[in-house]
Amino acid sequence: MKTKKWIAITALLTLVAGTILAGCGKSSEQIQRTDKSGEEVEEKPWTGKITVWDGPRWADANDNKYHWLEAKTAEFEAAHPGVKIEIVQVPWAEMPDKLNVAIAGKAWPDIAPVDISGGAVSINHIKQGVIEPMDEYLTKDEWADFYPNALEAYTYDGKIYGVPNSITVHAMLLNLDLFKERGVDPPKDGRWTYEEFVEKMKQLTFDRDGDGQIDVYGFSTYILPGYYEAWPFLYMDGARPLSEDLNQYTFDDPKAVSALKKLSDLKFVHKLAPPEMGGNDVGGTWKAWAASDQRMVAVEPWATWAIASAQTDKWKTNFMVAEYPIGDSGKPITIGGVGGWVMFHEENDGKKKMVAELIKYLSSTDEQYTMAKNYGVFPARKSAAEKNPFIDNPQMAQAMNMAEQAVMLPRHPDWKKIDEAIQTQLQLVLNGEKTPEEALKAARGPVEEILNQYK
């Protein structure tokens, strides 16, 4: 009797094990669902065309700046039979306008990139309902692998719209040959207070040829709408342009006024900056630091692209990367941007899952590492940063350490107009036409007019 009972139990266990193994043997793309009769049936993975827009990235030997995306999408197609991916090449400068036109015509792509210089996902697009939240497509552990400030740039109203793939920061670039010429020590570990910064910049401002005129200045930068090399100075005492809810203008409070005064004092009080500082000549400012026949400025702040440029033969410079000076906030701050991918609205759930899979594939640890190595950006994933993409590039490694200091720009739908109103006033300060307090108060009117349209 015991033998028969044991045989029955053994048979039952064998049946259960067989069922489990059969389930495990199914393709990872086969989705289980229940039909109207309660029977479990297999749902085949979606097939069809996915349209991906992207801007140019790094070039291969044939000067093809889309080769990385072409290779990755070909791999994805091979792993997902029946899926075809169309790549639409769009210059970065044209991306916002082309997307707006596509949205107006309800002909948006399935996937589009977030330009790293734009900083974050467009709140306008979220409010228009044209991009999808991505929360459900990555696990809790996968989301935890992203730097918090990267996810913050993609979060709105408690949901995550898109997947970050890269971070950029602004940093101070120091010409070490000029430091050596003047016997000035660069800041230890690239960190300095505002007061230490001022003293070193004074020492680096000098008359090289003895004609009674200053030939070399310690510091310079430029002011131009849409560019933020100077803005970490404005944040150094704790000020921000708008309130957290984006409803109030806050850039004329005492913290903002004191920070702008610190920046303008470099030119008008400490006299360690050239007369051109604060103008809108981006190219001239760069050449004053990087051109071999000039080298008349020791320190300038630039975005990450400048680090790679200063390592090329054309602009080869003996330099190091340092943080922005620390102000009254007591901590170093920089302005950053977060590139990534967003999924536009999809009606078909099967297609939505497949599009999400492609975004995940393009945003993996390995791909973020590859992008960091070749594109001069920093990974948005901690696991990619831990692979040391810049182990043989100390300047980029130093800048990558600043990624966690990065503060993103306000994500107001009309930030471009707000930015222009503020930057116009900043130029007047650095031209000597207004005091910091006058300029920041003058910006309040036009900025509030913009903000009031959203209240």
Burial pattern 49-79, b for ≥16 Cβ within 10 A else e, equals ebbbbbbebeeeeeeeebebbeebbeebeee
What's the confidence (pLDDT) of residue 40? 59
Please name which of 95, 98, 115, 116 lies closest in space to residue 107, comparing C-alpha atoms. 98
Q: What HEC string does 188-252 produce?
A: HHHCCEHHHHHHHHHHCCECCCCCCCCCEEEECCCCCCCCCCCHHHHHCCCCCCECCCCCCECCC
Q: Is residue 337 helix, strand or coil?
A: strand
User: Is position 293 within any domain?
Assistant: yes
Residues 209, 162 share a domain: no
Q: 365, 389, 404 — which closes off a domain? A: 404
Yes or no: say if 215 and 296 are a contact pair by the CB < 8 Å rule: yes
Yes or no: say if 144 and 170 are a contact pair by the CB < 8 Å rule: no
User: Is position 322 within any domain?
Assistant: yes
User: Is position 1 within any domain?
Assistant: no
Residues 420, 278 share a domain: yes
Residues 389, 371 share a domain: yes
Residues 140, 181 share a domain: no
Strands 319-322 and 163-175, sheet pairing: antiparallel
Residues 345, 332 share a domain: no
Torsions phi, psi for 453 (to 5 deg): -70, -15
For 346-383, how does the pLDDT look when each residue is reduced to its tens digit (9 = 90+)?
999 999 999 999 999 999 999 999 999 988 899 999 99
User: Is position 5 within any domain?
Assistant: no
User: For residue 376, is it left (φ>0), alpha (ψ between -120 and 50) or beta?
Assistant: left
Yes or no: say if 85 and 77 are a contact pair by the CB < 8 Å rule: yes
Separation CA 156–CA 367 (nearest Å): 26
Separation CA 453–CA 126 (nearest Å): 18
Q: Which residue has the tokens 């990872």?
A: 28
User: Is position 446 within any domain?
Assistant: yes
Residues 371, 299 share a domain: no
To the nearest 10 degrees (0 to 180), the angle between helices 67-79 and 349-362 is 130
Residues 296, 424 share a domain: yes
Residues 156, 218 share a domain: no
Residues 158, 125 share a domain: yes
Q: How many helices (H) and strands (E) does the chain have?
A: 18, 13
Give the domain range for residue 158.
48-168+337-404
Q: 374, 389, 404 — which closes off a domain? A: 404
Q: 366, 388, 404 — which closes off a domain? A: 404
Q: In DSSP terms, which residues pair with 339 in a beta bridge?
A: 166
Residues 150, 80 share a domain: yes
For the chain, the domain total comes to: 2
Regions of the chain where pLDDT drops below 70: 1-42, 118-119
Q: Is residue 137 helix, strand or coil?
A: helix
User: Is position 358 within any domain?
Assistant: yes
What's the confidence (pLDDT) of residue 135? 97
Burial pattern 94-115, b for ≥16 Cβ within 10 A else e, equals ebeeebeebbeeeebbbbbbbe
Yes or no: say if 391 and 397 are a contact pair by the CB < 8 Å rule: yes
Residues 207, 131 share a domain: no
Query: DSSP E strands: which ranges in 241-374?
Result: 297-303, 319-322, 334-343
Yes or no: say if 376 and 304 are a contact pair by the CB < 8 Å rule: yes
User: Is position 152 within any domain?
Assistant: yes
Separation CA 205–CA 195 (nearest Å): 16
DSSP string, 33-102: EE-TTS-EEEEPPP-EEEEEEE------TT--TTHHHHHHHHHHHHHSTTEEEEEEE--GGGHHHHHHHH
CATH number assigned to the domain comprising residue 157: 3.40.190.10
User: Is position 240 within any domain?
Assistant: yes
Tell me the pTM.
0.78
Q: Which residue has the tokens 């471009």?
A: 416
Residues 317, 329 share a domain: yes
For 283-316, how does the pLDDT look when each residue is reduced to its tens digit (9 = 90+)?
999 999 999 999 999 999 998 889 988 998 999 9
